[in-house]
């Protein structure tokens, strides 16, 4: 008899309606979505059973331990990472048991910053502070109110206030804990909190916001309110990343989220561990947002020739494509047939950040939901197109000038065009420039080359002039074609270029060398650096709380003014800089300006500092503190370009400013003035118009970041930095590698860097997997394609650290014939066949120490030493000969290593040395042989003896020879000593006796 399907109880039904309503569309979209059987857990369990335990584990210092062994006889102590996983697993298990399989209500509160279904609240810290001041009836001029409003400032309220600087929720707890209406935890469920937060995200009026917060305040204690505020601000910091949480929820959760950015979809499609992504399932579906492929930043490349080499490879087809980089918003367009929709089509628009823009650009061709784009593109698609997904850029186009306009005008233009009922050809409008097609007529195109996808795009999309257009490209074969194209786009004030490999597949949520940006801001474009005076400081948040993290720089208005003049020290705000500072830079600035800062009072601003909006009595980009120019420091800064703005008094500002250095040799009155900057700007514009500048990548951008103390360097742990110098060794000669992902642990390394490393050491790179069992497949992230290979179970998957270990070991050994390191199951294997488990476990001892790899990392050595003597019940011994046989199977040997040079030697020593000196030499020789992998015996007549060693001055060699049977050679101690000195087995005849 079939088992009855469990039914949800009344409380569960009520909460399900409370959170999701009676939405048939959800059931159509997620037909298998789970329904909880019981009421959701109380809100406070999120922090009592999850957040607080995780944070305690984060704070608790753990002693360095040995690698744990799996099984009943392993160590009982857990590492911090294991303890965190245990806490999360326990919470999820409790939810499944007491509530059901719909974990979405909890997940959206655990990682609220990843929840795209709930609209932004539009609430910043100061707004929340004002709401709390109202509902708690605190005097706005009291210390408590000021501490919440000025949450970035170090507090004076009590000793704890200093530690909460930069932590707004922590500062709120200080105030609310003395004014809470109840001390015990509330009975509010997670579903009720979600329902209230949904309402909060849908209203903008402060009065309504106060009412919702008031309901929270009446039912929650101070700790609950603190966590609620963190959720509203989407600033959790619970001691575990979303990667960890998603991975524990489901093995495929991170993969699906990375390509869909849809937390609801992750929770509802992967609601049970038995539900897995299919082998061909990429997560890309019609009308569901995905994470697009991104262009790689131009980095660590010295010229355009090397830039192009990155994706040209060794193929006969050396073409690449050059596209103009557009200054707009990355957008994906989905279109499906829908007989019930006005016009017969339904559209979806999503940004790269997964924001739904269908409300703006349109859901249908006609009707009330025809937006700023869809009602103008009825003729844009071929008649045979039933459904399609396009990838492109939404830009603003000025029809009067017939030219693209900056990104900042896009939303305004779209809103205006939405109201345009006449299709007028004036003003500004949104235009969708399409450069890729990833889905067409129920066919997924991501596995096809860019060239094939482009053909599909051109056959399916006809386009509409200045509404929806196919983005043009230029086919090139030489790096010399890049510079003229870059000159042209810079002259047109464009964003830059994108170089593309036409042979490449479309890779969801990846940034690799198949698409590469060449942007003017990466070039030495503006000219010289600017030395500007600091007049303001902004406090940071989080770990930078209580200290300045960025600075307001200004231009002096009159450098000739004398002390006492009205314009003395007078300056205009120019730009805000916070990038490029090392901790030592902050310390230097702090040391030179200590005690000279003043809190900014909006009612009484300093008369010699004018901010943006000054003429309208406004204070744009107002700093937290100000400093007199004569007490301040001069910063050397560089930027991409200059742009107009109303945020700064000068009406111009720097685009992407970055700190280069502190000008310790300059006085404040030697900083840049308004007039001097205008001269610099004019000079740069003149050079640009003459087109005489060379676009060279700014080398100073790639200087190593300064650090405050010299790092510890371990011999053998040097980084291999020969990605373009040809093979630096032949360690991977004859091997083919399929690098699937970037390296995550122990350090981050991009996929292109790993490929360059393999090629630099003799290996070959392929870009597709095959059934070849000798193919080395490398991955460090469980993406969909990696999970698919695991399910196929034809190849082991290796971690990238194995590549670096092999290179480091061969550099250390300096061997004439390089060898590959045997795989270590925990360190090297990302996915391991069960059949190979035992073989690879024999490559390490019971403590996890490799028998073939030198330990060159201090932390690894500490862990191994800490585990020695910890005890183990594993009686299995290392089979030395089996290990050597395994190397032989790979065509390798250890005989060239000093520690294995006597591996085939069994030496018998004459037991009667003539004197003490002879005894010492004999003992040293025995040790040399043992250290060299050989064995020693005192019995000359013994099976397997290969050498008989006698003192060099021994007079009875003939009597020793008489005892020798078989083919053993008689050699002097000098032979052993010389072999050890040379690090190799020498010919015995020169040292033979008798």
Q: Is the peptide bond before 746 cis (omega within 30 degrees of 0)?
A: yes
Q: What is the C-alpha to C-alpha distance for residues 741 and 752, in angstroms, rounded to an integer?
A: 9
Q: What is the C-alpha to C-alpha distance for residues 542 and 235, in angstroms, rounded to an integer?
A: 10
Q: What is the DSSP string of 867-899?
A: HTTS-----PPP-HHHHHHHHHHTT--STTSGG
Q: Are 552 and 656 in contact (CB under 8 A)?
A: no
Q: SS3 of 594, please?
A: coil
Q: What is the C-alpha to C-alpha distance for residues 967 and 976, in angstroms, rounded to an integer?
A: 18
Q: Which stretches does DSSP call E strand in 461-605?
A: 468-470, 474-476, 496-500, 511-518, 530-539, 548-556, 571-577, 598-599
Q: What is the C-alpha to C-alpha distance for residues 869 and 427, in angstroms, rounded to an integer?
A: 79
Q: Are 471 and 450 in contact (CB under 8 A)?
A: no
Vertex 906, ends 902 and 911: CA angle to 5°? 120
| Cβ count within 10 A of residue 333 | 26
Q: Are 907 and 951 in contact (CB under 8 A)?
A: no
What residues have CB less than 8 Å from 431, skipping those under 6 apart?
394, 395, 396, 397, 466, 467, 468, 469
Q: Are 844 and 851 in contact (CB under 8 A)?
A: yes
- DSSP H or E stretch at residue 211: helix 206-219
Q: Is 325 a catalytic residue?
A: yes
Taking the CA atoms of residue 566, residue 567, residue 571 and residue 572 in that order, the dihedral angle to the nearest 10 degrees is 80
Nearest Cα neighbor of 136 from 225, 205, 200 is 225
Q: What is the C-alpha to C-alpha distance for residues 538 and 625, in angstroms, rounded to an integer?
A: 7
Which residue of the set 114, 325, 363, 921 is catalytic?
325
Q: What is the C-alpha to C-alpha distance for residues 811 and 508, in angstroms, rounded to an integer?
A: 37
Angle between helices 482-491 and 304-312 (to 10 degrees): 110
Q: Give backbone dihedrals phi and psi of 949, rounded to 5 degrees, phi first.
A: -105, 130
Runs of H (alpha helix) within 250-315: 253-260, 263-269, 304-312
Q: What is the C-alpha to C-alpha distance for residues 196 and 15, in angstroms, rounded to an integer?
A: 12
What residues have CB less than 8 Å from 574, skipping those under 6 apart?
532, 553, 554, 555, 648, 649, 650, 652, 653, 654, 677
Q: What is the DSSP string of 902-936?
A: TTT-EEEE-S--SSHHHHHHHHHHHHHHHHTT-EE
Q: Are 379 and 462 in contact (CB under 8 A)?
A: yes
Q: Are 947 and 969 in contact (CB under 8 A)?
A: yes
Active site residue ranges: 325
């Amino acid at each position: 008899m079939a088992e009855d399907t469990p039914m949800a109880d009344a409380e569960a039904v009520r909460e399900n309606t409370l959170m999701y309503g009676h939405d048939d569309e959800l059931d159509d979209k997620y037909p298998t979505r789970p329904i909880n059987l019981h009421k959701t857990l109380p809100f406070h369990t999120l922090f009592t059973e999850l957040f607080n335990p995780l944070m305690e584990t984060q704070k608790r210092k753990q002693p360095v331990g040995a690698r744990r062994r799996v099984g009943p006889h392993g160590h009982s102590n857990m590492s911090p990472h294991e303890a965190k996983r245990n806490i999360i697993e326990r919470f999820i298990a409790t939810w499944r048991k007491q509530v059901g399989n719909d974990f979405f209500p909890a997940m959206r509160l655990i990682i609220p910053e990843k929840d795209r279904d709930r609209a932004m609240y539009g609430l910043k810290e100061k707004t929340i502070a004002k709401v709390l001041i109202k509902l708690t009836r605190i005097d706005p001029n009291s210390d408590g109110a000021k501490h919440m409003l000025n949450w970035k400032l170090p507090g004076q309220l009590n000793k704890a206030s200093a530690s909460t600087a930069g932590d707004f929720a922590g500062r709120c707890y200080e105030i609310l804990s003395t004014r809470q209406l109840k001390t015990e935890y509330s009975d509010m469920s997670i579903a009720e909190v979600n329902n209230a937060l949904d309402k909060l995200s849908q209203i903008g009026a402060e009065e309504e916001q106060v009412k919702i917060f008031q309901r929270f305040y009446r039912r929650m204690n101070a700790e609950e309110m603190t966590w609620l505020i963190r959720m509203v601000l989407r600033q959790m910091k619970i001691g575990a990343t979303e990667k960890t949480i998603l991975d524990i929820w489901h093995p495929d959760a991170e993969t699906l989220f990375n390509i869909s950015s849809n937390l609801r979809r992750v929770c509802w499609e992967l609601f049970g561990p038995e539900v897995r992504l299919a082998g061909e399932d990429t997560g890309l579906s019609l009308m569901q947002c995905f994470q697009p492929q991104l262009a790689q930043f131009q980095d660590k490349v010295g010229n355009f020739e090397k830039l192009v080499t990155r994706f040209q490879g060794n193929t006969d087809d050396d073409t690449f494509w050059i596209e103009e980089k557009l200054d707009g918003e990355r957008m994906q367009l989905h279109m499906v047939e829908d007989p019930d929709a006005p016009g017969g089509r339904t559209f979806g628009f999503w940004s790269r950040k997964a924001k739904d823009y269908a409300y703006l650009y349109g859901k249908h061709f006609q009707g009330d939901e025809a937006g700023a784009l869809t009602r103008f593109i009825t003729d844009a698609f071929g008649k045979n197109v039933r459904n399609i997904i396009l990838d492109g850029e939404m830009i603003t186009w000025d029809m009067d000038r017939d030219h693209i306009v900056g990104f900042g005008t896009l939303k305004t233009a779209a809103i205006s065009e939405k109201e345009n009922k006449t299709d007028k050809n004036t003003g500004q409008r949104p235009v969708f420039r399409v450069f890729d097609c990833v889905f067409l007529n129920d066919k997924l195109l991501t596995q096809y080359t860019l060239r094939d996808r482009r053909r599909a795009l051109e056959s399916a999309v006809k386009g509409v002039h200045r509404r929806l257009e196919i983005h043009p490209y230029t086919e090139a074969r030489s790096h010399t074609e890049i510079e003229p194209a870059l000159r042209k786009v810079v002259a047109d004030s464009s964003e830059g270029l994108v170089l593309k490999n036409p042979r490449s597949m479309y890779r969801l949520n990846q940034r690799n060398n198949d698409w590469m940006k060449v942007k003017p801001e990466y070039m030495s474009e503006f000219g010289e650096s600017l030395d500007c005076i600091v007049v303001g400081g902004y406090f940071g948040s989080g770990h930078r709380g209580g200290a300045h993290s960025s600075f307001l720089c200004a231009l002096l208005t009159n450098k000739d003014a004398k002390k006492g003049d009205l314009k003395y020290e007078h300056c205009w705000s120019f730009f805000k800089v916070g990038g490029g500072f090392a901790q030592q830079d902050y310390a230097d600035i702090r040391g030179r300006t200590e005690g000279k800062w003043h809190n900014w009072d909006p009612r009484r601003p300093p008369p010699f500092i004018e901010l943006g909006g000054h003429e309208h009595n406004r204070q744009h980009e107002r700093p937290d503190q100000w400093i007199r120019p004569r007490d301040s420091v001069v910063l050397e800064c560089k930027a991409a370009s200059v742009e107009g703005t109303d945020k700064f008094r000068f009406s111009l500002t720097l685009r992407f400013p970055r700190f280069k250095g502190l000008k310790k040799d300059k006085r404040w009155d030697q900083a840049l003035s308004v007039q001097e900057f205008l001269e610099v700007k004019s000079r740069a514009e003149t050079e640009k118009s003459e087109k005489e500048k060379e676009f060279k990548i700014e080398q100073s951008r790639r200087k190593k970041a300064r650090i405050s103390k010299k790092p510890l360097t371990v011999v053998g742990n040097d980084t291999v930095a020969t990605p373009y110098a040809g093979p630096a060794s032949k360690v991977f000669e004859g091997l083919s590698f399929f690098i699937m992902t970037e390296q995550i642990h122990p350090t981050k390394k991009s996929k292109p860097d790993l490929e360059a490393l393999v090629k630099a050491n003799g290996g070959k790179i392929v870009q597709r997997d095959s059934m070849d069992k000798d193919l080395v497949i490398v991955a460090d992230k469980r993406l969909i394609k990696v999970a698919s290979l695991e399910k196929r179970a034809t190849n082991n998957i290796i971690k990238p650290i194995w590549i670096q270990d092999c290179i480091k070991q061969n550099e250390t050994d300096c061997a004439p014939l390089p060898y590959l390191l045997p795989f270590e199951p925990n360190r090297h294997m990302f996915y391991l066949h069960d059949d190979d488990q035992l073989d690879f476990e024999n490559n390490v001892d019971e403590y996890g120490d490799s028998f073939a790899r030198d330990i060159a990392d201090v932390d690894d050595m500490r862990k191994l030493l800490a585990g020695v003597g910890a005890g183990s019940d594993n009686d299995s011994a290392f089979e030395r000969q089996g290990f050597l046989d395994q190397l032989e199977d790979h065509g390798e040997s250890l005989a060239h290593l000093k520690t294995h040079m006597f591996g085939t030697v069994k030496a018998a020593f004459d037991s009667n040395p003539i004197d003490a000196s002879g005894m010492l030499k004999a003992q040293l020789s025995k040790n040399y042989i043992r250290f060299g992998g050989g064995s020693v015996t005192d019995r000359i007549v013994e099976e397997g003896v290969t050498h008989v060693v006698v003192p060099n001055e021994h007079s009875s060699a003939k009597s020793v020879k008489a005892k020798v049977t078989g083919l053993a050679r008689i050699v002097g101690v000098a032979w052993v000593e010389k072999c050890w000195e040379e690090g190799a087995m020498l010919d015995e005849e020169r040292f033979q006796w008798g």
